[in-house]
Amino acid sequence: MSEFIFKEQANTSLREKVTNDLREAILNGDLAPGARIKEMDIAEQMKVSRGPIREAIRQLEREGLLVSYPYKETVVADLGASEVQHILNPIRFHIEWYVVRTYLNLMDDDFFAKLQAIVDDMHASVAGGEKNRLVDLDLLFHHSILELATERTVMLTWQSIVNQIRLHFAKNLPFFDHDHMASDHQALLDAFRSKELERIQAAIVAHLGSDENLLCFSR
Amino acid sequence: MSEFIFKEQANTSLREKVTNDLREAILNGDLAPGARIKEMDIAEQMKVSRGPIREAIRQLEREGLLVSYPYKETVVADLGASEVQHILNPIRFHIEWYVVRTYLNLMDDDFFAKLQAIVDDMHASVAGGEKNRLVDLDLLFHHSILELATERTVMLTWQSIVNQIRLHFAKNLPFFDHDHMASDHQALLDAFRSKELERIQAAIVAHLGSDENLLCFSR
DNA sequence: CAAATAAATATTGTTGACAATATTCAAAAT
DNA sequence: ATTTTGAATATTGTCAACAATATTTATTTG
């Protein structure tokens, strides 16, 4: 057989689509924090049975987007800014810094080009006022970095926090300096290109570490 | 109505019991890393239908104990020691250090007594050769600390890694110095009692931070 | 005999019905 | 009027049957 002409057809189960759609609705704000999730409602709107819905709920619960009270109800989670600042962002920082310093040698021209394309798109999004796209690109940038790692735990941990970060963005995006968001990632990329660990660390700290919660790692 | 005489009856769904039993089996080693999980097998052994089993699988997947390949199979996850060292333990460190420095004022005599009882039990477990109990007590010690925090994210993050830590323990316990495990926690507790932040930080670093991955935080 | 094809089996994915639990609302009692 | 009780309703939890997909085995074909 000829090989690798076509990309493998994604075998997405209904459950997976439901999970994605539900997550999207939460991050959109269509389902605001505190909103109750009624299985039957969702099932009817999506024209599927409750089975896949329930499985999706279990998954989103573990992603921190839903909170479920047995035999009672499940509601959309709320998230304080301080939790992002003191807990989630430091974890992001830690993982990313680990991956970067461990897999720096895997960063080649192709990789840099890919990141540069994302940053360029970010600038375009800012200019065009496409705020949601800006968030997607921001997280895609970081996702691309984490893809360098082979450890399953890296992606697993990322997935356990990334959607809470998205929720935070959705809530607070209006208060962010969008220009700064784009140029910040350019600075990160430039630091990667230099391959100087200290400069890279400083860039990541500047990007993720707030002044209130300064982190310094050695090695 | 009279009040607070009886403890609230735990309303555990079947799904929850299944989740706990499955998790237990994995951590016991009854289901070793790589072992395939056949829904029907489990369902028949537990005498329940596949519904709750599938929901439990989704949950344990997000806890990092199972890996699921759609339409194919789900297997018990494997975990490298380096992932614990470089990713999970640093996250533990971060959360615990955040909670301790933030909620230090909540540590009262009752709290210390509770931790002391756990440490005493640890020593007893070492003497009695009850290794699994030692692990439980170790993690209970840290869980008790995290309970000081009110942020939902703290427990959520802990839950997303604690069972992987347990899996790591189950795999490597024979190579640990059990005496040292117990006395290490006594040192932590003594540091808490002193309420000196620098001493506490040093104790946590000594406990969780390896020399290869030294962490230092300010504030 | 080796490779391709097709039938048979095993396993996961989905559904709709039924059971258990919680909530709401109206009637009764104090 | 307030509380208590109990029926009615809504919602979540569980199940067993059916559908879709993957794997294995047997069969054919060159």
Which residues does chain A have with pLDDT short of 50? 1-3, 211-219
Could you tell me which of B209, B56, B191 has the C-alpha nearest to residue A57?
A: B56
Q: What residue spans in chain B does CATH classification 1.10.10.10 cover?
A: 14-76
Helices B152-172 and B89-102: crossing angle in degrees, nearest 10, is 140
Provide φ and ψ at A51, rounded to 5°: -50, -65
Residue A82: CA count within 13 A, CB half-sphere: 9
Domain B81-213 falls under CATH 1.20.120.530: yes
Q: Give me the pLDDT at residue A211, please.
A: 38
Asked if residues B204 and B100 have their Cβ atoms less than 8 Å apart, the reply is: yes
Phi, psi angle pair for A194, to nearest 5°:
-70, -25
Chain B contact for A154 (CB, 8 A cutoff): yes
| Residue lying closest to nucleotide D17, CA to C1' | B49
Option in B82, B86, B91 nearest A91 (CB):
B91
DSSP codes of every residue in A76-127: E----HHHIIIIIHHHHHHHHHHHHHHSGGG--HHHHHHHHHHHHHHHHHHH
The answer to whether A77 contacts B216, with C-beta atoms less than 8 Å apart, is no
| CA distances to A99, A161, A162, A180, B100 from B86, in Å | 10, 18, 19, 31, 22
Residue type, B97: W
DSSP string of B140-187? HHHHHHHTT---HHHHHHHHHHHHHHHHHHHHHGGGS-HHHHHHHHHH
Between CA B1 and C1' C28 the distance (Å) reads 20
Q: For the domain bounded by A14-76, which CATH number is listed?
A: 1.10.10.10
d(CA B1, CA A68): 28
∠ Cα A136 A96 A188 (to 5°): 70
Say whether A54 and B59 touch across the interface (CB within 8 A): no
The residues, any chain, with a CB within 8 Å of residue B111's CB and separated by 6 or more, are B144, B148
**How wide is the angle at C-alpha A31 spanned by C-alphas A30 and A36, nearest 5°?**
150
Q: What is the pLDDT of residue A53?
A: 98
Put simply, the answer to whether B95 touches A87 (Cβ < 8 Å) is yes
The candidate with the shortest Cα–Cα distance to B150, out of A34, A80, A162, is A80
Who's near A153: CB < 8 A, 6+ residues apart?
Answer: B64, B79, B83, B87, B88, B164
Looking at the partner chain, which of B16, B98, B213 has a beta carbon nearest the beta carbon of A70?
A: B16
Print pLDDT tens along chain B (219 aa).
444 566 767 789 999 999 999 999 999 899 999 999 999 999 999 999 999 999 999 999 999 999 999 999 999 999 999 999 999 999 999 999 999 999 999 999 999 999 999 999 999 999 998 988 999 999 999 999 999 999 999 999 999 999 999 999 988 988 999 999 999 999 999 999 999 999 999 999 998 875 344 343 333
Rounded-to-integer distance, Cα A19 and Cα A215, Å: 35
CA distance to A175, A187, B65, per residue, from A134 (Å): 14, 16, 34
Provide the pLDDT for residue B108: 96
Alpha-carbon distance B145 to A74, whole Å? 27
Put simply, the answer to whether A160 touches B164 (Cβ < 8 Å) is no
Residue A61: name the closest of A49, A74, A48 by CA.
A74
Footprint of strand C on the protein (CB under 7 A): A 13-15, 48-52, 71-73; B 11, 36-40, 50-51, 54, 68, 70-74
Listed residue (B204, B190, B196) closest to B95, CA to CA = B204
For the beta carbon of residue A76, count every other beta carbon within 10 angstroms.
Answer: 21
The answer to whether residue B74 neighbours chain A at the CB level (below 8 Å) is no
Q: Where in chain A is the domain with CATH 1.20.120.530?
A: 81-213
The interface residues of chain A toward chain B in range 42-71, judged by CB-CB distance below 8 A, are: 51, 54-55, 58-59, 61-64, 67, 70-71
Q: Which of the 8 DSSP states describes residue A8? A: P
The encoded tokens of residue A85 equal 């600042």
Contact B157 A91 (CB under 8 A): yes
